[in-house]
Amino acid sequence: MKDQPSAVSRRDFLATTSAALLVSQAPAAAAATPKLALQGGEKAVKTPVKRARRWGDLERERLNAMLEQDSLLYWKGPQTALALERFRKIHPFKWAHTCSSGTAALHIAVLAAGIGPGDEVITSPITDIGTVIGVIYQHGVPVFADLGASTYNLDPADVERRITPRTKAIIAVHLCGNPCDLRALKAIADKHQLILIEDCCQAWGAKYRGQPIGSVGHIACWSLQDTKHITCGDGGVVASSDERFGPLLQKCGDKGADRGKGGGFQMFATNYRMSEPQAAVLAAQLERLEGFAGARARLGRLLTEKISGIPGILPHQVHPEDRCVYWFYFMRFKEAAFRCNRADFVKALAAEGVVCSAGYIAVPLHREPVFQKHGFFAGRWPVKEMGLTAMDFTKHHTPEVEAILQNGIRFVIHEGMTEAYIDGVAEAVRKVAAHYAV
Ligand SMILES: *Cc1c(COP(=O)(O)O)cnc(C)c1O
């Protein structure tokens, strides 16, 4: 499949047998399509990508301070307090807590939101599975909605179509750090009295209509896993300004224990604590956030400017008043516009020096075996056995999502990249697209 001989032989045919014909009949077209790097031509990307330096002295300083402490527990921990103080400078939530992962943050959020057996939570099927793990652990039912063709975020109209009397919440995933249509989602949530949870795991530093991401919904969640914009190895943050949910967040991530008051266990929750060594790194990473997010936003925007208007190529669609922080850049490739498939297109781009790959996750979440088999709890799904849901993931359809995963092309964007590199990427896309254009 990868080394499709037909594309190569056609190119050879053009280059050799009918070279004279091409030159005599269409010299302008021939000059406009330089030889692909794949076939020995000069690479479009002239400046190789340097590895981004993600941590150093700032983190060392915090870790050294942490080593002087007598306790590494988060509660009353100075590193945790500093990390949350810095987090709140960016995101002025009334309540914000660290936890052990983005998955944990999302589980804490659905627990605080009161999601229980049979409650439906509408979300995106193109996301990390951590978005829905907490929903399933609370015996809720994830309902996957379709996405916008080039925003890759929840399509509000499809969300509304999937609302039933059992729907309790929406989890809006800001995929790639591109803010969802929060105004529309909040209006739907308000109209149907649903709780809106923002999954900001890929959206550190993003802004919705100029406001820091996470401020429209009732509860917001972040991941600090190693691949995210900022990291402490593994970790998460969960935050809310809502009086109903905010006061529960600490207990929901700490075995139900209310460390602030008289103690005791008023609610059931697991241990999702973050320890002081991670909080020390987080405190330092938050100092770097604006630099990382700003660079990615600028580079992604530049790439969109430079690849707009190429036939068959659909750039990543971001609202002009929003700041997307491009956890990665995702464009779509319309197969009908080209004489090659996506795999060949990506291969040609890679040969030009572009850091890219085909697709993102292999299939929408609901097509993963664990969902298809409903094998969540030792091979069983109690809510289904109890008749609290009729969900059958084998019959769940999200057509735009299928198409996105089949023809999306993913570009790595990071703060170590330069505008010259992005220029090269855009030139490569233009060159390869022109070469394979029908
Ligand atoms: C990474 C990620 C998560 C899960 O975060 P972990 O820290 O890996 O548990 C959830 N949602 C999205 C959109 C993510 O990208």
Residues in the chain: 438
- Prediction pTM value: 0.92
- CA 418, 422, 425: angle at the middle one, nearest 5? 140
The region of weakest confidence among 49-58, 281-290, 344-353 is: 49-58
10 vs 380 pLDDT, higher one: 380
Rounded to the nearest angstrom, the distance between the alpha carbon of 199 and the centre of ligand 1 is: 8
CA distances from 307 to 289, 312, 433 (A): 27, 11, 10
Give the Å distance between the CA of 128 and the centre of ligand 1. 5
Question: Angle at CA 91, nearest 5°, toward 315 and 303?
Answer: 15
Question: What confidence tens digit (pLDDT) does each residue in 76-108 have?
Answer: 999 999 999 999 999 999 999 999 999 999 999
In the chain, how long is the greatest CA-to-CA distance?
Answer: 89
Quick count: other Cβ atoms within 10 Å of Cβ 359?
17
Atom number in ligand 1 closest to CA 104: 9
- Inform me whether the pLDDT recorded for 23 exceeds 50: no
Cβ proximity of 59 and 284 under 8 Å = yes
- pLDDT at 263 > cutoff 80: no
12 has a pLDDT exceeding 90: no
Structure tokens at 308: 């707009």
Q: Residues with beta carbon inside 6 Å of ligand 1?
A: 101-103, 127-128, 130-131, 173, 199, 201-202, 223, 225, 236
What ranges in 75-230 are assigned the alpha helix state H? 78-90, 102-112, 130-137, 156-161, 182-191
**Cβ burial, residue 192 (10 Å; 0-12/13-18/19+):** middle
Using the structure block, give the residue that is written with the tokens 């009908």.
336
Q: Residue 17 C-alpha to ligand 1 middle, in angstroms? A: 53
Task: Report the nearest-CA residue for atom 6 of ligand 1.
Answer: 102
- Minimum CA distance residue for ligand 1 atom 5: 102
Nearest 5°: the CA angle 322, 324, 325 is 145
Work out the average pLDDT over 20-41.
63
* Residue range 118-139, pLDDT digits in tens: 999 999 999 999 999 999 999 9
For the chain, the domains span 57-286
Angstrom distance (rounded) from CA 193 to CA 264? 32
Tokens at residue 206, please? Answer: 């993003």
Please give the number of the atom of ligand 1 that sits closest to the Cα of 224.
7
Residue 89 backbone dihedrals phi, psi, to 5 degrees: -65, -30
Q: What is the mean pLDDT of residues 144-168?
A: 98
| Angle between helix 102-112 and helix 130-137 axes, rounded to 10 deg | 40
Q: Which of 202, 224, 226 to mutate to test the pocket of ligand 1 (most atoms within 8 A of CB)?
A: 202
Q: Which of 131, 133, 230, 270 to mutate to test the pocket of ligand 1 (most atoms within 8 A of CB)?
A: 131
- Residue 97's pLDDT is what? 98
CB 124 within 8 A of CB 131: yes
Per-position b or e across 95-130, b if 16+ CB within 10 A of its CB:
bbbbbbbbbbbbbbbbbbbebeebbbbbbbbbbbeb
How many angstroms does the Cα of residue 365 sit away from the middle of ligand 1?
A: 13
pLDDT of the residue at 51: 85
pLDDT at 229 over 90: yes
Q: What is the pLDDT of residues 390-405, one digit of tens each?
A: 999 999 999 999 999 9
Token code pair at residue 381: 């799904």
Collapsed DSSP state (helix, strand, coil) of residue 96: strand
How far apart are the CA of 339 and the centre of ligand 1, in A?
A: 37
Q: Measured in angstroms, how far is the CA atom of residue 235 from the centroid of ligand 1?
A: 10
Please give the CATH number for the structural domain made up of 57-286.
Answer: 3.40.640.10
Q: What is the per-residue pLDDT for 264?
A: 81
